[in-house]
Structure 1
């Protein structure tokens, strides 16, 4: 399944105000923000899928951190469309998306569990060992278990998932991406990190350099290290290997950050198409070159390095 062209399945998205359809009634649901849908998140999701009943995720948009700290930038690993595409690919029955606003933030722990039982019609929940919920984060996993018991709901608390002695977390993945450590980020995610955006018109400088690129603006809060990456991209006509630059183009204009992707063995027009680009490996940091000839020579070397990385990497793809 491609993130740019998801398969049509029975995957159900149930938002605030939607009636819970029969296919989701009585679901066992994993609860969390699931930014990144990383290996730790998937341990909860996979447990929910093992119960022989409808399986779902209860998640929140926007991320609660944006509600409580609206002036503080938040590097979102998987904006809602990407998160939903990954959850669909996993094989869940569906997802409940609750808008995180003042009304939800003000619910007591008991009222939140009542919402799960009465409004979402769940039969049980799966939560992580450090899950907190309810007004002022008053609810803990132990409180969740007690409140669920009173409502006749199952409650499964999952232990932490670790990597080399450190817990797998969205924060650790953000930190790795900020450092350009794609290998670590992808290892924690369990798949190649992917972004999705429309291809925009640029200054077409790449054509002059012999490297025409698909240009994409990522979120202003994206803190991916500026540099050159081996990538793969899903287009309307297939998936292609490539090399990409993310940054401000210091050799030319030092402008707003752009993701500029050159696809090997591709000819055609990608303007205004939705492109999914997954990051396979880091090649080098962004540099300023003294001449166009020097830049082109380096781009040639970058392409060779990208092809080498792409040949050997076996990390799970979410765009195939």
Structure 2
């Protein structure tokens, strides 16, 4: 399994050996199949030109900066995004700090300063609807014209559509996850949606039920539907463990803050404080309140059996899925 792409904190911090690269520009939240098509073009151009493969993205997400009262629900936080890009062969992800000052830069400054001076880009790869600069005054035509003057070629990528001829987008994937349709989300992503976090201490109710769990707090409680999922957990050492996870507020007990609680099959270790990733393979049922602990445990036994069966038949959706979840 390949490692993550290097993370560079801004275009002005790019190491000299990475200058002169082919640069894909965008937010790339989810690194979905459309984004992967962009990276495939990036890789082809970089191989042809013998140049580094770079991605220029923006942190935090520009829409969150412009509308802080409605922050973007992130599919892939920056560290996970860098890991996914690394699996796709990207050398480095330039995480350009995005704030209101940067947003006020005119389009000319973005091209001349960020792309040409700081990155030394030789070829740019952008989407068909790419806009940039203050008041979104820059577009692909502007980029082509100014890039030609500065020695930067531009390749524009058409929208990527799925088998139903619908454009693949991060917003569609968010909607699928909110509706607990992790299979549909995986079809758009090209890999099983994955979360990362550090295992913390919970109320340890699972231990008393014979189902000790590894607990994580998700950064955004509104993105994934509460319920029971078949999952695969990857430890820091790369080992994989199948399991069943409950995401929600434990209505049978305390109805408290939302937790992602994973019970690992055939595992008897201590994961406290360990950074892990968890890939979602299937949705089993919604969150329920049970009249008794005994009824809950009976249902958990059924959930575990269903998750085992689902995971036993799972196969990689793509090379990226194989790297992430297998």
Per the TM alignment, residue 169 of structure 1 is displaced from its structure 2 partner at its CA by 0.4
Q: Which residue of the partner structure matches residue 121 of structure 2? A: 122
Indicate the residue corresponding to 1:268 in structure 2: 269
**Contact 2:11/2:118 (<8 A) preserved:** no
Tell me how far 1:255 sits from its aligned partner: 0.8
Find the partner of 1:27 among 21, 36, 39. Answer: 21
Quickly say closer, same or farther: Cα 1:282–1:199, change in 2 above 3 A: same
Q: Deviation at 1:319?
A: 4.3
User: d(CA) in 1 for partners of 2:223 and 2:34?
Assistant: 22
**2:193 maps to what in 1?**
193
Alignment of 1:7-26 (within 5 A): 7=3, 11-16=5-10, 18-26=12-20
Offset of 1:156 from its aligned partner?
Answer: 0.2
Q: Answer whether contact 2:194 2:277 (CA < 8 A) is retained.
A: yes
CA contact (8 A) 1:20 1:121 kept: no
Q: Does 1:277 align with 2:278?
A: yes
Structure 2 alignment gaps of length 5 or more: none
User: Structure 1 runs of 4+ off > 4 angstroms?
Assistant: none
What displacement does 1:221 show?
4.8
Q: Report the counterpart of residue 245 of structure 2 in structure 1.
A: 244
Deviations 1:26-63 (A, max 9, x none): 10011000110111111111111112221110000000
Q: In structure 2, what is the Cα distance between the partners aligned to 1:197 and 1:143?
A: 41
Deviation at 1:299, TM superposition (A): 0.5
Q: In 1, Cα distance between the equivalents of 2:270 and 2:305?
A: 24
Structure with greater helix share of residues: 2
Where 2:243 maps in the other structure, the secondary structure is strand
Structure 2: distance between partners of 1:250 and 1:140: 50
Deviation at 1:25, TM superposition (A): 1.1
CA offsets, 1:54-101, max 9 Å, x none? 111000000001100111142100011111111112111212110001
Distance 2:260 2:198 in 1: 11
Structure 2 residue aligned with 1:297: 298
- 2: distance between equivalents of 1:17 and 1:160? 26
Deviation at 1:165, TM superposition (A): 1.7
| Corresponding residue to 1:36 among 27, 30, 43 | 30
How many pairs align? 314
Separation of aligned partners in 1, 2:77 and 2:182: 19
Can you list the C-alpha shifts for 1:231-264, whole angstroms capped at 9, x where unaligned? Answer: 0001245110100011111111111110000011
